Structure formats: structure tokens, C-alpha cells
Amino acid sequence: MDRLAHLQSLTGKEFKDSPSPFMRWLKPIVLSAEKGHLEFQYTIRPEWLNPIGNLHGGVTAAIIDDVLGATMFSLNEPTFYTTINNVIDYFSIGKEGENIIAETHITKLGKQFINATCEIWNADKTRLIAKGTSNLFKTQITR
């Protein structure tokens, strides 16, 4: 199956058939999909908030990790990649009901390791909410 073509066919739609149960719970809308570059939109739900009513940092980290995993999916490789680390900088807040955009890029594509970045923006990309950088390792596990 051409995974990238499948992601592209979902442009403007919720990614309901993701192989990740967690991603299905997050309910992202695919805005764009290219090899090694995705843009997903999320709507901040009440269960994603911290005690003071802002987007919880742990949910932000989870979105970053999950959408970077989907970015590996866009490479159409037969093996799984696993996250080695995820370093996140938090810059701003998100509020309930707000739409946010996660945009990914591959910085370095090696034979065994990939370094990738995800930025979380407000809906019109005028405010950077968080930025995560991850290293991922190519496993021997096939899909």
C-alpha cells in the first residue's frame, strides 16, 4: 500500500483509519501530506487542558510524538521507526476549542536514524505554541 498516497487522499478529512489508536483518539484533520512533511489540524478538547485551562504540555508532547510517527509513515518504508528522544520547547498557550496545526519536517534522513521536527502553531500560524525535535531509529519490525 502506498501510505503517502493514502495520507494525501485524506486531505481535508479526519484521519479515522490511522493504525495508531492514540492518533484516532486525537482526531487530526489532514491538511497536507508530502514525503517527510505533514500538516495536521487538531481542535483542543476539554480533556486536553491543564488545571489552569491551557493546553497541557503532556498532550502537546504526545501530539508531537504521534504526528512525527505519521511522518515516518509518509516515507513509504516497510519498517517501523521508534522514537529515541523528544525535546520540546513550549512558547505559548492553547485554549479549549482553538484549532492548532502540527507541521513536521525531516531535518536529517540517515540509513538508521532520522532527525525530525514538529512545530505546533495556532490556526493562522501567527503564534508558535511549541516545537519538538526527535531522533527516531529504524527498527527491523515490518508493517
Q: What is the pLDDT of residues 25-64, one digit of tens each?
A: 999 999 999 999 999 999 999 999 999 999 999 999 999 9
| Paired residues of 137 in beta bridges | 82, 113
pTM: 0.94
Residue with cell 489508536: 21
Task: Say which CATH topology domain 3-142 has.
Answer: Thiol Ester Dehydrase; Chain A (3.10.129)
Q: For position 1, what pLDDT does the model report?
A: 65
Q: For position 89, what pLDDT does the model report?
A: 98
Using a pLDDT cut of 70, give the percent of the chain over it: 99
Q: What is the pLDDT of residues 12-35, one digit of tens each?
A: 999 999 989 999 999 999 999 999
Collapsed DSSP state (helix, strand, coil) of residue 45: coil
| Paired residues of 37 in beta bridges | 34
Would you put residue 97 in left (φ > 0), alpha (ψ -120 to 50) or beta?
A: left
Handedness of CA 67, 71, 72, 77 (dihedral sign): positive
